[in-house]
Chains A and B, each alone.
Chain A
Amino acid sequence: MPVNDTLATYSDWLYRAAALIYVFAMVFYTTEQAFTRKAKKSEQARELVGAGAPVTPAIGRIDESTEVGKPERFGRMAVALTVLGALLHLGSIVLRGVATGRAPWGNMYEYGAATMLVAVVTWLVLMRKFDVRRLGAFVLTPVVILMFLGGTALYTAAGPVMPALQSYWLVIHVAAAILSSGLFLVPGVFSVLYLVKVRHDANPGRFTRIGPKLPEAASLDRLAYRTTIFAFPIYTFGIICGAIWAEAAWGRFWGWDPKETVAFVAWVVYAGYLHSRATAGWRGTRAAVINSVAFALVVFNLFFINLVIAGLHSYA
Chain B
Amino acid sequence: MRTALILLFLLALAAMPGALLPQRSLNLPRALAYIEAHGWWGTFLDRLQFFDVYASVWFSAIYLLLFISLVGCLVPRTVEYAKALRAKPVLTPRNLSRLPHHKTAVVTDTPEQVMADARVRLKGWRLVERAEDDGARSVSAERGYLREAGNLVFHFAMLALIVALAIGKMANYEGQVIVLANGSQFCNSGTLGYDSFRPGLRVDGTDLNPFCVRVNEFDATYLPNGQAEQFAAKIDYQAGDDLDSDTWRPYDLRVNDPLRVVGDRVYLLGHGYAPTFTVTFPDGQKRTQTIQWRPVDNLTLLSEGATKFDPPGVTDPTERRKRQIAVTGLFAPTSLIEDKILTSSHPKLSDPAVAVDVMRGDLGIDSGRGQSIFQIDQSLVDSGRLTRVARENLKIGGAITLDDGTKVTFDGVVPWVSLQVSHDPTQVWVLVAAVAMILGLGVSLTVRRRRLWVRASPDESGSTVVRVGGLARTDQAGYGEEFHRLAAQLLPRRDT
Residues of A within 8 A of B (CB): 49-56, 159-160, 162-164, 166-167, 169, 222, 225-226, 229-230, 232-233, 236-237, 240, 243-245, 247-253, 255-259, 261-262, 264-265, 268-269, 271-272, 275-282, 305, 309, 311
On whether the beta carbons of A243 and B434 are closer than 8 Å, the reply is yes
* Contact of A54 with B481 in the complex, beta carbons under 8 Å: yes
Q: Which residues of A contact B269 (CB under 8 A)?
A: 251
24 contacts between A and B (CB under 8 A): A52-B103, A53-B484, A55-B100, A163-B230, A164-B256, A166-B230, A166-B255, A167-B256, A226-B478, A230-B445, A232-B441, A236-B438, A236-B441, A243-B434, A247-B427, A252-B424, A253-B427, A258-B20, A265-B12, A268-B11, A271-B8, A275-B4, A279-B1, A309-B20
Residues of A near B478 (CB, < 8 A) are 56, 226
Chain A residues lying within 8 Å of B54, measured Cβ to Cβ, are: 256
Q: How far is the CB of B167 from chain A (nearest CB, A)?
A: 14
Q: Is B2 an interface residue (CB 8 A)?
A: yes
Known contacts: A160-B229, A240-B435. The answer to whether A265 contacts B16 by CB under 8 A is yes
Give the interface segment out of B281-289, B306-314, B469-477.
Answer: B469-477
Contacts of B15 in A (CB 8 A): 261, 264-265, 268
**A282: which B residues are within 8 A, CB to CB?**
2, 5
Q: Contact check, B474 vs A278: say whether CB atoms are below 8 A apart.
A: yes
- Separation of A53 and B422 alpha carbons in the complex (Å): 59
Task: State how many angstroms separate the Cβ of A183 from the closest Cβ of chain B.
Answer: 13
In the bound complex, how far is the Cα of B8 from the Cα of A268, in angstroms? 6
Establish whether residues B23 and A256, one from each chain, have CB atoms under 8 Å apart when the complex forms: yes
Supposing A166-B256, A229-B445, A248-B258 touch, asked if A276 and B5 sit within 8 A by C-beta, the answer is yes
State whether A162 touches B228 (Cβ < 8 A): yes
Task: Note all chain B residues with C-beta closer than 8 A to A276.
Answer: 5
Chain B residue nearest to A312 in the complex (CB): B26
Which A-B residue pairs are the 6 nearest by beta carbons? A52-B103, A55-B480, A261-B19, A54-B480, A258-B19, A163-B255
Bound-complex Cα distance A132 to B56 (A) = 47
Report the tally of A-B residue pairs with Cβ distances under 8 A.
Answer: 149
Task: Say yes or no for B483: interface residue by CB 8 A criterion.
Answer: yes
Specify which chain A residues have a CB less than 8 angstroms from the CB of B377 in the assembled complex. none
Q: Are A251 and B9 in contact (CB under 8 A)?
A: no
Which residue of B has the minimal Cβ distance to A229?
B445
Are B434 and A278 within 8 A (Cβ)? no
CB nearest neighbor in A for B269: A251
Residues of B contacting A247 in the complex (Cβ-Cβ under 8 angstroms): 265, 427
Q: Which residues of B have CB within 8 Å of A249? A: 255-256
Select one of A160, A240, A248, A268 contacting B257, CB under 8 A: A248
Given contacts A240-B438, A248-B257, 17 further A-B contacts (CB under 8 A): A49-B100, A52-B103, A52-B484, A54-B484, A55-B479, A167-B256, A222-B476, A226-B477, A240-B434, A255-B25, A255-B26, A256-B18, A256-B23, A256-B53, A257-B26, A268-B11, A269-B9
Closest to A249 in B: B256
| Contacting residue for A277 out of B18, B231, B441, B475, CB 8 A | B475
Contacts of B474 in A (CB 8 A): 278
Contact B19 A163 (CB under 8 A): no
Give chain A nearest CB distance to B205 CB in angstroms.
18
The reply to whether A305 and B5 contact each other, CB–CB distance below 8 Å, is no
* Residue in chain A with minimal CB distance to B8: A272
Q: Which of B20, B102, B420 has the most CB of A within 10 A?
A: B20
Are A222 and B477 in contact, with the CB atoms below 8 A? Answer: yes
Residue B93 CB within 8 A of the other chain: no
Q: Which of B1, B26, B422, B480 contacts A275 (CB 8 A)?
A: B1
- B-chain residues with CB within 8 Å of residue A159 when the two chains form the complex: 223
Question: How far, in angstroms, from A159 to B2 measured CA to CA in the complex?
Answer: 49
List the A side residues contacting B434 at CB < 8 Å: 240, 243
Cα–Cα, bound, A5→B397 (Å): 43
- Among B5, B427, B438, B474, the one with the most A-chain Cβ atoms within 10 Å of its Cβ is B5
Task: List, in ascending order, chain B residues with CB within 8 A of A245's CB.
Answer: 256
Contacts of B480 in A (CB 8 A): 49, 53-56
Establish whether residues B9 and A272, one from each chain, have CB atoms under 8 Å apart when the complex forms: yes
A167 and chain B: residue at smallest CB distance: B256
Q: How far is the CB of A269 from chain B (nearest CB, A)?
A: 5
A269 to B26, CA, bound (A): 24
Q: What separation, in Å, do the CA atoms of A126 and B474 have in the docked complex?
A: 22
| Nearest chain B CB to A58 CB, angstrom units | 9
B454-484 CB contacts (< 8 Å) to partner A: 468, 474-481, 483-484
Give chain A residues whose Cβ lies under 8 Å from the Cβ of B223: 159-160
Q: How far, in angstroms, from A35 to B478 measured CA to CA in the complex?
A: 31
B479-496 interface mask toward A, CB cutoff 8 Å, 1 = contact, 0 = none? 111011001000000000
- Closest chain A residue, CB of each to CB of B17: A261
Chain A residues contacting B267 (CB-CB under 8 Å) are: 250-251
Bound Cα distance A237, B440 (Å): 12
Q: Which of B53, B424, B477, B483 gathers the greatest number of chain A CB atoms within 10 Å?
A: B477
Return the chain A residue nearest B484 by Cβ: A54
- Among residues of B, the one whose C-beta sits closest to the C-beta of A257 is B26
B357 at interface (Cβ–Cβ under 8 A)?
Answer: no
A282 to B2, CA, bound (A): 9
CB proximity of A179 to chain B, nearest CB, Å: 14
Residue of A nearest to B260 (CB): A248
Q: Which of A230, A233, A282 has the most CB of B within 10 A?
A: A233
| Complex alpha-carbon distance, A51 and B484, angstroms | 10
Residue B153 is within 8 A (CB to CB) of chain A in the complex: no
Chain B residues contacting A244 (CB-CB under 8 Å) are: 431
Does B227 make an interface contact (CB < 8 A)? yes
Check if B215 is an interface residue, CB within 8 A of chain A.
Answer: no
Task: Given A52-B484, A264-B15, answer yes or no on A272-B437 (Cβ-Cβ < 8 Å).
Answer: no
Chain B's nearest CB lies how many Å from the CB of A180? 13
B236 at the interface (CB under 8 A from A): no
- Interface assignment of B174: CB less than 8 Å from any CB of chain A: yes
Q: Are the C-beta atoms of B18 and A233 separated by less than 8 Å?
A: no
User: Can you name the residue of chain A whose Cβ is closest to the Cβ of B267?
Assistant: A251
Check B227 against A52 for contact (C-beta < 8 Å). no
Contacts of A248 in B (CB 8 A): 256-258
Q: Determine whether B430 belongs to the interface, using a CB cutoff of 8 Å to chain A.
A: yes
* B422/A233 in contact, CB under 8 A: no
Q: Which B residue sits closest to A240, measured CB to CB?
A: B434
With most chain B CB atoms within 10 A of its CB, the pick from A56, A245, A280 is: A56
CA–CA, A247 and B174, complex, Å: 13
Chain B's closest residue to A55 (CB) is B480
Cβ–Cβ contact B1 & A278, under 8 A: yes
A144 and B16 alpha carbons, distance in the complex (Å) = 29
Enumerate chain A residues within 8 angstroms of B431, measured Cβ to Cβ. 244, 253
